[in-house]
Amino acid sequence: MQKFCKALSIMSDYTLCVRCHSALSSWFVVARELLLTTRMVLVQNIQAGTPLQEKIVLKKDSASRPETLQGMKARKLKSAEQFLKIRRAQLDPCKALAEDQRYETDDGGICSARFSIMQFEGVQSVKQVFDLVIFYFSNMEISVSEKLETLVTVRENDDDSTIEGITQNFLMSTTTNMGMKMESNTIMFSDFCERDDIPCPDQGYGIVVSEFVDVDERYPYRSNERVRKDVNGVIEVRAYNRPKDAASPNKQEMIVVMTRWVQNTLHRPEFPMAVEGWQELRQSMDSWGLLLHRTLLESLHPQP
């Protein structure tokens, strides 16, 4: 009987171990499936578009173009602000952050997304940083060509918008190594105001939304000779208070913070292209945006 009971005990222990192992295995399977599902949903959401994306079709005539853009400006800015609130939830805006994602789309193109929070110390005001952001995007072809050895960029449109806070960039870039051509047609909506809900001495608030044009009758895409790049993005510039130092947590200082989310999509070429040329374009597709931070720092803190 004693041996029998001991055998039962051993069997019970073994059964318990098996059950525990089975439970753990099931938990890991569930966790793995949840992770894969989350990643799949994330990729599907990005592939389906962005919360900021809205189809833009511009006619050839000068009258309808500004009307079309003006009609969507307020809606675009509001959606962008709400998007950043959700995206930045639970994050400390006073700490630097950068997150990058890149993947191949179903049609063979490349999509990259970047979310970043950058702090600027010792600046004059929120408006100073905001104005530099606007200047950079309004003259992007100059900045890119001057500071990037891998790309030569030219503007192919005259900004015929008469609406304050709306700019169109129809840009064409050529890689300096293999001469590959990449084009983008982007509308930039922007606004700056003072807000009472910002608990800082500087209550300035600036927001910029970038949205690619789907169809432009005046500046059509040349898909038979250029690779198309689509840009969706939002930039917010505002001030935050933070502890001046660890020794004096009650003493506050103000810093200017730029929160940025951008998604670039490089379409698969519709014409024959060498593998090396495609790789060169893929490596260059994010360079415009990455150059922004460097340009801002150089302008805010010029070297003697």
pLDDT of residue 167: 94
Structural domain of residue 243, as residue ranges? 54-300
Domain co-membership, 20 together with 156: no
Question: Quick one: pLDDT band at residue 50, thresholds 50, 70, 90?
Answer: low
Whole-prediction pTM value?
Answer: 0.81
Most confident of 33-42, 116-125, 248-257: 116-125
Domain co-membership, 145 together with 64: yes
DSSP readout, the chain? -HHHHHHHHHHHHHHHHHHHHHHHHHHHHHHHHHHHHHHHHHHHHHHT--TT----EE-SSTTHHHHHHHHHHHHHHHHHHHHHHHHTTT--TTS-EEEEEEEE-TTS-EEEEEEEEEEE-S-S-HHHHHHHHHHHHHTHHHHHHHH-SSEEEEE-S-----STTEEEEEEEEEETTT--EEEEEEEEEEEEEE-TT--SS--EEEEEEEEE-SEESSS---TTTSEEEEEEEEEEEEEEEEEEETTEEEEEEEEEEEEEEEEEEEPPPSS---HHHHHHHHHHTTHHHHHHHHHHHHHHS---
CATH number for the domain that contains residue 263: 3.30.530
Q: Considering its fold, how many domains does the chain have in total? A: 2
Question: Quick one: pLDDT band at residue 211, thresholds 50, 70, 90?
Answer: very high
pLDDT at 22 over 70: no
Domain co-membership, 250 together with 156: yes
Domain co-membership, 89 together with 117: yes
Domain co-membership, 17 together with 99: no
Query: 139-158, pLDDT tens digit by residue?
Result: 888 888 888 888 899 999 97
